[in-house]
Amino acid sequence: MSRKGALLRGAAALAAAGALIGLMASPAAAKPHKPHHHDSDPIVIAHRGASGYLPEHTLEAYALAVELGADVIEPDLVLTKDGELLARHEPVLDETTDIAQHPEFADRKTTKLIDGAPVTGFFADDFTLAELKTLRAEERLPSVRPQSAAHDGEFELVTYDEVLDFVDDLDRKVVTYPEMKHPSYYEDKGMSIEEELADLLDERRLDRKRSPVWIQSFEYQSLLNIAELVDNRIGLNIDGQGEISDAELDEYADTLDTVSLNKNRIVPRDANGYLMEPTDVVERAHDRGLDVHVWTFRNENQFLPADFREGSGGAAWGDFESEYDLFYSLDVDAVFSDYPDKAIAARDC
């Protein structure tokens, strides 16, 4: 049996064993796992829109993701100087906009602390929304995705309010899954991204448990804070590699709906990038009633496990279908993908 086949066979066996163990010895206080999707298929989340094809966090990237069949679109949110929720991956604008081509803003370049580390650049919170609307989006990985970079300068920056307007006009239900970026950074500046988001959701009557809006963050306290303001489904993003303890999962089950995990938390990689044995974190989370979302799926070799790389060069596409097969076999509830059409094709084949 090939290494790839062994990985998939082992994952399937682990999933089956985990389900049996969950039935026999689930924690006394655990909620039964009830996926919130309308059927048992994993949900496909368009990571920053169809960001493998078009510059991320643009209305055009979100629209393409919907056209390709994504169940959910994911806007990262940062704050502007005047308190608007802007769809950008980071407060810093340098890598994803044409800010460097605007000499009228040259004096805004500065250094600030984000998560305790100094970062130099142009920060969205130093600009009003009107000023930001004069910028245009650019591809973050131009050498990897030249087809997307070909659209540099075409698309304007958009607010979450505009994204919600777009979703309202669709002829099918599409969930938005906003991520509050660096809440503590804004707290240190006397701003609250939680309150701005909660106010917008309240204004649009989207602050309810069954609303097509889920909320995420890497900062657990931020999620606890916004949970006091809205009733939406809430999930914690957990990066890195290593075990998540039962005690941690117990706490998350008491306060959250979802854990959203780096792929390495589910199937670790060794020092050479090869996949190791899957962990049992999905089963243990399900035993406690938590959904498990996984990020991020990308087609290019440089992002794939060494097991699935093909051809030469990091930008070449590898055997991404096998990576989807592996994680789908582990019963995850949702995947974040830069190429939502490929995630759907692997799911539905």
- Residues involved in catalysis: 47, 89
Alpha-carbon 31 to chain mean position: 25
Pair of tokens at residue 24: 């026999």
Q: Is the dihedral of CA 243, 246, 252, 258 positive or negative?
A: positive
Instruction: For helices 320-329 and 3-25, give the axis angle rounded to 10 degrees.
Output: 20
The count of other CB atoms within 10 Å of the CB of residue 207 is 20
DSSP letters for 201-255: HHHTT--STTSSBEEEES-HHHHHHHHTT--SEEEEEE-SSSPPPHHHHHHHHHH
Centre a 10 Å sphere on the Cβ of residue 186 and count the other Cβ atoms it contains.
22
How many other C-beta atoms are found inside a 10 Å radius of the C-beta of residue 116?
7
